[in-house]
Amino acid sequence: MTTRLIVWRHGNTDWNAGNRVQGQTDVPLNDLGRQQAVDAAELLVRMRPDALVSSDLRRAADTAAALAALTGLSVTHDERLRERSFGLWQGLTMAEVAETRPEEHARWAAGADVIGGEVETLEDLGKRVADALQAAADGVGPDGTVIVATHGAAARSGVGHLLGWPREQLRTLRALQNCHWVELTHDTARGWQIATYNVGPFSDRPVPPPV
């Protein structure tokens, strides 16, 4: 018996488009993001999910709502699925971060756990998101499918923590594109495994940074 977990990044926002650090700022989807959510939902509905769970931030919650409209399922919101808190970076473009906080930016680019600037550590991020992903999977049980709408950095760290990967291995994964997803499966013999990564309807689009 196999549990299926789909970890789905939200659609595009104006801050994604402007390369601006969102973190836990509650930025809404833009027109492109809303259309991405609809297009992705038309694919994900074929997976016949048993449950939908989402970050409580609007860009993820509204992405999940597009799928809820097709499935008839209600969405459960879990604040543990929020994006990484980027502290004093939030609202800045990445170019502004590099210019005004160069040491912190260098640590971030190198994949360091502790960055400074009140940015949440990767360890804390991975643990809280993985806890939420595990709870979502537990909620549907063996042979169930749950789709979880979350954020770029949150998805990558949460999946990595769930799999028990070291940070060095996690850095080999590209950032999820907007409205793309990771499919994981779990059974008692093999535990968690990745089935697919970065799947979605807009594979030809550039990858916005997972912030």
| Binding residue positions for substrate | 9-16, 59
The answer to whether residue 151 is catalytic is: no
Annotated binding-site ranges: 9-16, 59
Residues 29/42, Cβ–Cβ less than 8 Å: no
Instruction: Catalytic residue, from 10, 105, 161, 180: name it.
Output: 10
The answer to whether residue 123 is catalytic is: no
3-state helix, strand, coil in the chain (%, to 5): 45, 20, 40
For 87-139, give the secondary structure using H, E and C: HHHCCCEHHHHHHHCHHHHHHHHCCCCCCCCCCCCHHHHHHHHHHHHHHHHHH
CA pair distance 207, 200, nearest whole angstrom: 12
Instruction: Catalytic residue, from 42, 83, 151, 183: name it.
Output: 83
Q: How many CA atoms lie within 13 A of 31 on its CB side?
A: 0
Q: Which residues are catalytic?
A: 10, 83
